[in-house]
Amino acid sequence: MFEITNINKGFVTKAGIPTIALNNVSLKLPNKGLIFILGKSGSGKSTLLNLLGGLDQYDSGNIAINKHSTQALKQNDLDNYRNGVVGFIFQEFNLMESMNVYDNIALANELQGQKPDSQLIYDLLKEMDLLGYEGRKINELSGGQKQRIAIARALVKNPEIILADEPTGNLDSKTSEQIFNILQNLSKDKLVVVVSHDAESAFKYGNRVIEFKDGQILEDLTKDENAVKTKKPKFTKGQVLNEEMIKQIQDQAKNAHKEGFVPTQEVLLEEQPVTFKNVSSQLPLKKAFKMGASAFKSKKVLLVFSALIVVFSSILFRDILRLGLNMKEFYLEDRIEQEIKFRKKYNHQKYANLEELKEKVKEEVNINWPEIKNRLKKQIKYLIIFLAVMLLISFMMIYMYFNASIKLKKKEVGSLRALGARGSTVSKIFLSEGFIYATIINILIFAFDIIMGFSFGFVYIYDLTKGQYWLFLGAGYLFAYVLTFLSIILPIYTLSRKKPIDVIANR
């Protein structure tokens, strides 16, 4: 399955210190079996698992998967490989809190562009002793139940490889035993690689145990059913123990769990290349919209504040557009309205006939139009400057809103990337959220138009031609969508370009 040759991987810590995670590691892993990778924190074991799963990329060396080199693969190719071949199980479960149990498991199929197999999902739930839990929310489950759901999600797409990072780290001993029994059973037909601190369980359940220290392999042992058991030293009652005897007892106690394991010799791999399974990730639009809409529940204050500012900017844009489309008629309509108000206020009887009044005002405007036009142009310039300021504020508010949304969804995004979703697939969630956000803005603008229309009349559109009217209406509503998507494109692009491990680790 895996042929790892002289792999090196380093990174720089937050403190700016260069660190070597893996140092010239070479290793072969077969097509099936339960392999444990042990080591203290920082030994390189999790880094190796991330490289095997395509969550991260190595600096030098090569990892061949079924005889196919991954040296030239880009991140999108690694995402496709993970989506098609790998089932990931994490210590923190990485389940979608916004989905129920059934939808969490079905998500693995949907990312492959397949219709979820309901019968298979129910069979897996039965196998995990969770039948009847399919409608439950994730926060209603215990740690052990969550981990079994994560295993079912990994299995539903029939992966060739299962990679488990500390799968029992947050579980009690009884539940841990249950999880290891499941993984041991799966390893009869698949390769299961488990990163763990638990040496006792590793030697109890594993076919092979590899221990790492300082980025290198310290020990590589394989279970040998025919190995001759070490004879225990016998001592008589009252016998005085010398230093050699004490050391012998200590060594035996220290290595008791390694009984039946011998140094790993040759690991046989497939002679001929196996077809490299490459499945591009997909996310149904309905699910993307549902995940995008769920974000609105947790940012209500920021949503209202940013929406009001964007609504104001949109209305201001429309007013400037209308003034630019029909400046003279706009001014004439405004002057007539002012004249009517003035005469009503002072009960002025001259030009009481409305048509006569309009003709008189129109005549005055025509005579003074060059001067009025210059004055209006100056006003438009000031309005455009004000609009530019409001656009900048709106841009920043939308940017802040979606940055907050991305941070809130980092865990879910990390889970999707771990399952095999490409950056572009994850972007659909936030683009859907952006569409919903802009639609809310336009609904508010429409409500404003209706209120203003019934309160003051719809005279503001009477002076427009049919073509100008549709341009005014279309541009006004389109404005909110354009502004929203221009504001969110940068944070979404930045997120989509990140390596999966950086998203999962919240770097």
- Whether residue 305 sits in one domain with residue 207: no
Last-in-domain residue among 263, 294, 326: 263
Say what the pLDDT of residue 505 is: 79
- Asked which of 263, 295, 323 is the last residue of a domain, the reply is 263
- Both tokens assigned to 9: 């991987």
Sheet with 161-165, strands from edge to edge, namely 86-90, 161-165, 191-196, 33-38, 208-213, 216-223, 261-263
Q: pLDDT of 207-265, one tens digit each?
A: 999 999 999 999 999 998 776 555 666 666 666 667 776 676 666 656 667 778 888 88
In angstroms, the first-to-last Cα distance of the chain is: 30
The answer as to whether 219 is a domain residue is: yes
DSSP line for 319-371: HHHHHHHSHHHHHHHHHHHHHHHHHHHHT--TT-SHHHHHHHHHHHHHHTHHH
Do both 346 and 455 map to the same domain? Answer: yes
Residue 14 resides in a domain? no
pLDDT in tens, 381-436: 888 899 899 999 999 999 999 998 888 888 889 889 989 999 989 999 999 999 99
- Please tell me whether residues 202 and 300 are part of one structural domain: no
> Is position 25 within any domain?
no
Residue 372 forms part of a structural domain: yes
**Do 491 and 362 share a domain, yes or no?**
yes
Q: Whole-angstrom Cα distance, residue 308 to residue 480?
A: 12
Give pLDDT, residue 101.
Answer: 95
Q: What is the pLDDT of residue 195?
A: 95
The reply to whether 436 and 372 lie within a common domain is yes
Same domain, 255 and 289: no
229 and 316 housed in the same domain: no
Assigned domain for 460 exists: yes
Is 269 inside any structural domain?
no
CA distance 458 to 449: 9
Residues 242 and 295 both lie in one domain:
no
pLDDT in tens, the chain (507 residues): 799 999 999 988 777 788 899 999 999 999 899 999 999 988 999 999 999 999 999 999 999 988 888 998 898 899 999 998 899 998 888 899 889 999 999 999 999 988 999 999 999 999 899 999 999 999 999 999 999 999 999 999 989 899 999 988 888 888 889 899 999 999 999 999 999 988 989 999 999 999 999 999 999 999 987 765 556 666 666 666 677 766 766 666 566 677 788 888 877 666 555 666 788 888 888 888 988 888 888 778 888 899 999 999 988 888 787 776 666 666 666 676 676 666 666 555 555 566 767 777 777 767 777 877 787 778 778 888 998 999 999 999 999 999 988 888 888 898 899 899 999 899 999 999 999 999 999 999 888 878 876 776 555 555 556 666 677 777 878 899 999 999 999 999 999 888 888 888 777
Structural domain that includes position 319: 285-504
Q: Write the pLDDT tens digit of every residue in 339-355.
A: 666 666 655 555 556 67
305 and 452 fall within a common domain = yes
Under DSSP, is residue 481 helix (H, G, I), strand (E, B) or coil? helix
Please state the domain count of the chain.
2
Strands (E), 30-85: 33-38, 60-65, 68-69
Tell me if 2 is assigned to some domain.
no
Q: Which of 228, 263, 298 represents a domain boundary (last residue)?
A: 263
Q: Do 305 and 201 share a domain, yes or no?
A: no
Domain annotation covers residue 422:
yes
Shared domain for 232 and 106, answered yes or no, is yes
Confirm if 97 and 138 have CB atoms less than 8 A apart. Answer: yes
210 shares a domain with 345:
no
Picking from 365, 490, 486, 493, the residue whose alpha carbon sits closest to that of residue 423 is 493
